[in-house]
Structure 1
Amino acid sequence: MPIHPAGRAPRRGLRRPAPSRRTLLGAGLLGGALPLLSGCFGLGDTDGLVLEQPAGDVPEKYRDRQRVVIWSAYTAHNAEVIQANLDAFHEAQDDIFAEVQIFDSYDGVESKLAASMQARQVPDIAVFSDVVWNRFYLAEALEPLGGYFDEGFGTDSFDERFLKEGTVKDEIWWLPFGRSTPLFYYNREIFEAAGLPDRAPETFSEYRDWGKAVGEVEYKGKKVPMRAYVGGDDWYFQGSIWAFGGAYSDGLDMRLTTDASIAALEYDRAFIHDDGSGYLAADATGDFSSGACASAMQSTGSLSGIKEAATFDFGCGFLPREKDAGVPTGGGGLSILRYASAERKQAAWEVIKFLSTGQRTIDWTLGSGYVPCTKDAIESDEVAKLAAQDPRYKVALDQLEISREPDIVRRYVPETLVEAKNAIQSVYSAGESAEKVLTRMEEELEPAIDRVREKFERRVGTDT
């Protein structure tokens, strides 16, 4: 996903742990990562190549253990949940110590890893978003994971739909961990004041009509717009373009300038600039939680944070349809780096196994707010109890049935995210023509697609 934020502000009463000395912040490095990715990191002959671990801090009592380095995009409260699970791992066995080095985002992990491989260093485990791991797969930098499973921890430990997203040519390269979809969040008090039903709109057309109705009422003494738009993440636009019958691409063939794709972005332009029902927000989740807008489309992972912050009753529903459903999956998963030593890879697998089984995967699901990815979590009494207690959480689980993974160019062409953000921001903030900006986006992406086409056809081909 996010790509949507990998963490949220710490909950009241919880103390954020001090980051390790080698905590890494990768902001601003994405642009520098792109040529490294397309150039296969410049590693030359990589058969049997083993790269060093990044430096870090190992407590004295763990000095004799095999060290595993995890580069993680999970911050704030989610970092605490992972660390608690790793503390339990350290108590459960005597051979391995796992050190988490924290980045500010999925982009931070991507860009720093690309640069670190040039410096001949790699972590053992990396947390990749759903639109990042594919590029490292193309660069042949990931370890195939199928051979690590055994009778005690098989592929059936994971939700089949999510496991398939990390599989290429019948091999597993990326395991689901913190997965999500967007949800439709709405302020029940505002909807009631506007005479709207207590539900999400069924279609975008209905949503537009409701936006005009919200514009006619006041909430706590002032007018509020219907929707806060997100401009720094095109994940939500990926969903709406499907809803209108369009797509970013069919394989690597672009579909941005079809009538259906243009209609999706033209809808947003009209919603914001013709109707005055929406606006480009700096913090859509914060605006919704404070009552500054009537609705927002945000990650399932935002549900717990909104519950804590909102002072009003709110509901959740499926994303609106138009011609079709448009629900993209997002979030992160775990990969092992190919260039770690055999001992480090095996130790890394033991860490992943621990985090993905039993109570630990249940604790992660409940603590993070992400949807459950493992059978242990999906079938647990704790998750079932939460879904029964809060219908909003059950919406997140039910919507998975109509979700799908992002279009190919979002996954394998890194420039796509940058160009998509530029396109939607041009429409959301300046009201540019949807056809104009999507035509420009498609033209800008063609050279980038050509650069990956040969490797994509060889490494992925029709297995999409």
Structure 2
Amino acid sequence: MAFRLDRRHFLGLAGASASVAALAACGGPDTSGSSASSAVADIDFKDVKPAASIDFWSSHPGKSEDIEKQLVAKFEAANPGIKVNLVTAGANYEEIAQKFQTAQAANSGLPGVVLLSDVWWFRYYINGNIIPMDSAIKQLGIKLSDYRDSLVQDYQYANKQWAMPYARSTPLFYYNKDHFKAAGLPDRAPATWSEFGDWAPKIKAASGAQYAYMYPALADYAGWTLQNNLWGWGSGWSKGWDITCDSDDAVAAMQWIQDSVYKDKWAGVSSKDSSADFGGGIASATISSTGSLVGVLKTAKFNVGVGFLPGGPKATKPVCPTGGAGLGIPSGISKEQQLAAAMFIKFVGQPENAAAFSGATGYMPVNKSADMTAVLAKTPQIQTAIDQLAVTKVQDNARVFLPGADQEMAKAVSKIVTQQADVKSTMGDLKKTLQGIYDKDVKPKLKA
């Protein structure tokens, strides 16, 4: 295709995005509405006094409610004129998206700070529902250079900063050290999926676990974690704006996954949370977010190992995507609320607070200067997540920029691994769906 877009050089989208009908099918908030251009201008916060109270909407990712309460209390102590109300706005990113969409439609009840996931915040940018933070960043002296480059750049589009990193993660390979030892295997993550395929029967036989490996729940961001497999096989959901999910390599990757469930019978598919299944001993290994790390370590009654994601037959690295959520500020609230929100976002992003949040959850420390000494002394496994960040890869456009694509990917994978559907035809159907979303809802709004 002649159109090109990457995470550093977004050319801009104008006007509405996905149709209501297309998004109704996937259960997400629609992206019809006002143009992003209405929110592009910098906001002048000169002589603005921060509001006395704002709401912070969160789903408490990585079981972070307790640490979020601590950060709120710490902020209020440092800023006695501002109260932050921590609101449980949903159980996950999707529920927050629905609540935010409802508040937008009613033009009332908007928060000061809203948690924005990697696949939802872009829609708010398109609609002009969030503000560019550049003027607040300048006025408050927020040091973008101290944020980890790849994380802060994820929110830079049209030469503006639309959110700040918060609960940022990569997938990790989790394994039961005791089960691996019983199978006579080395104490490490497999270098490739082929290597794990050789290990899996031994693990299952020696461990007594129901499965050697548990695939993440399909509703739990299958499109995110399975980029690892697709990349390892030399493909992806897309390359640039070319939809490649039906390529021979992509079909081979998904066929291997299906065979591990039905033919070889050493893998299962989680119904809810693969990290919980792993922590409960149902499976000997899984891939899950770094944000699950601390929770797994607390619940597991065995020695937990973590490692980089395995490669595939064609690529061994980088095969790990970044992910997670940032913090943004709605455009439909007062300047006073927006300034107070920016102050809170700056506060939680300070090195000591970022380190505390990381230590409590396992999410990445978003600052370069965050002192992780105490955290790593308590939870040394977090170092693996930090190290893997150096070999991560930008997510496929099809997952993060096509409205509703993540749910369509999950539907297709569900057919393959829970209904044993024909892989080639299923991936072909998915391509048609993704191509339709691109052609109708994205391509017309790209500049040539």
Task: Report the TM range for the smaller structure's normalisation.
Answer: 0.7 to 0.9
Report what 1:443 is aligned to. 432
Give the stretch that moved more between structures: 205-214 or 31-40.
Answer: 31-40
Equivalent residues in 2 for 1:35-54, closer than 5 Å: 37-40=30-33
Matched, 1:317 2:307: yes
Equivalent residues in 2 for 1:193-208, closer than 5 Å: 193-208=182-197
Matched, 1:140 2:133: no
Matched, 1:327 2:316: no
Match of 1:91 among 71, 77, 80: 77
Alpha-carbon distance, 1:421 to partner:
0.9
Counterpart CA distance in 2 for 1:47 and 1:374 is: 26
Report what 1:176 is aligned to. 165
Report what 1:402 is aligned to. 391
- CA change 1:89–1:386 in 2 (3 A) is closer
Alpha-carbon distance, 1:390 to partner:
4.5
Per the normalisation by structure 2, the TM-score is: 0.85
Report what 1:127 is aligned to. 115
**8 Å CA contact retained: 2:354, 2:367:** yes
Matched, 1:244 2:225: no
Counterpart CA distance in 1 for 2:167 and 2:395 is: 16
Report what 1:162 is aligned to. 151
Counterpart CA distance in 2 for 1:273 and 1:35 is: 31
Task: Report SS of the residue matched to 1:450.
Answer: helix
Counterpart CA distance in 2 for 1:108 and 1:439 is: 30
**8 Å CA contact retained: 2:31, 2:127:** yes
Alpha-carbon distance, 1:33 to partner:
8.6
Equivalent residues in 2 for 1:37-76, closer than 5 Å: 37-40=30-33, 66-74=52-60
Alpha-carbon distance, 1:280 to partner:
1.2
Counterpart CA distance in 1 for 2:362 and 2:263 is: 36
Counterpart CA distance in 2 for 1:185 and 1:457 is: 40
- CA change 1:204–1:131 in 2 (3 A) is same
Task: Report SS of the residue matched to 1:70.
Answer: strand
Equivalent residues in 2 for 1:369-380, closer than 5 Å: 369-377=362-370, 380=371
Give the stretch that moved more between structures: 71-80 or 237-246.
Answer: 71-80
AA partner of residue 335 (structure 2): A
Report what 1:352 is aligned to. 345
Counterpart CA distance in 2 for 1:369 and 1:340 is: 32
AA partner of residue 143 (structure 1): I
Give the stretch that moved more between structures: 153-162 or 72-81.
Answer: 72-81
Counterpart CA distance in 2 for 1:42 and 1:149 is: 23
- CA change 1:34–1:414 in 2 (3 A) is farther
Task: Report SS of the residue matched to 1:176.
Answer: strand
Equivalent residues in 2 for 1:353-432, closer than 5 Å: 353-377=346-370, 380=371, 383-387=372-376, 390-432=379-421
Counterpart CA distance in 2 for 1:66 and 1:456 is: 39
> CA-to-partner distance for each residue in 1:256-275, whole Å, 9 max, x for gaps?
11111112111101111111
AA partner of residue 84 (structure 2): A
Counterpart CA distance in 2 for 1:31 and 1:418 is: 11
Per the normalisation by structure 1, the TM-score is: 0.82
**8 Å CA contact retained: 1:244, 1:264:** yes
Match of 2:266 among 277, 281, 285: 277
Question: How well do the aligned residues superpose, as a CA RMSD in angstroms?
Answer: 2.6
Structure 1 residue runs of 5 or longer lacking an equivalent are 1-29, 51-63
Counterpart CA distance in 2 for 1:417 and 1:224 is: 29
**8 Å CA contact retained: 2:133, 2:160:** yes
AA partner of residue 201 (structure 1): P
Alpha-carbon distance, 1:206 to partner:
0.7
AA partner of residue 212 (structure 2): M
Counterpart CA distance in 2 for 1:32 and 1:433 is: 23
Alpha-carbon distance, 1:47 to partner:
10
Give the stretch that moved more between structures: 448-457 or 179-188.
Answer: 448-457
**8 Å CA contact retained: 1:229, 1:279:** yes
- CA change 1:45–1:140 in 2 (3 A) is closer
Counterpart CA distance in 1 for 2:270 and 2:79 is: 47
Counterpart CA distance in 2 for 1:314 and 1:402 is: 22
- CA change 1:170–1:181 in 2 (3 A) is same
- CA change 1:76–1:410 in 2 (3 A) is closer
Task: Report SS of the residue matched to 1:185.
Answer: strand
Task: Report SS of the residue matched to 2:30.
Answer: helix
Matched, 1:116 2:103: yes
Counterpart CA distance in 1 for 2:354 and 2:237 is: 34
Alpha-carbon distance, 1:45 to partner:
8.1
**8 Å CA contact retained: 1:244, 1:261:** yes
Alpha-carbon distance, 1:34 to partner:
6.6
Counterpart CA distance in 1 for 2:97 and 2:259 is: 35
Report what 1:23 is aligned to. none
Task: Report SS of the residue matched to 2:205.
Answer: coil
Counterpart CA distance in 2 for 1:215 and 1:149 is: 52
> CA-to-partner distance for each residue in 1:395-451, whole Å, 9 max, x for gaps?
111110111232112112222111111111111112222212111111122332223
Alpha-carbon distance, 1:207 to partner:
1.0
AA partner of residue 73 (structure 1): S
Alpha-carbon distance, 1:124 to partner:
2.2
Percent identity, aligned pairs only, is: 26
> CA-to-partner distance for each residue in 1:273-324, whole Å, 9 max, x for gaps?
1111101122321221122211111111111111111111121111100122
> CA-to-partner distance for each residue in 1:51-79, whole Å, 9 max, x for gaps?
xxxxxxxxxxxxx9622122212168411
Alpha-carbon distance, 1:454 to partner:
4.4
Task: Report SS of the residue matched to 1:352.
Answer: helix
Task: Report SS of the residue matched to 1:179.
Answer: strand
AA partner of residue 123 (structure 1): P
Counterpart CA distance in 2 for 1:198 and 1:106 is: 34
**8 Å CA contact retained: 2:320, 2:391:** yes
Instruction: State the aligned residue count.
Output: 409
Report what 1:293 is aligned to. 283
- CA change 1:41–1:111 in 2 (3 A) is farther
Counterpart CA distance in 2 for 1:394 and 1:47 is: 38
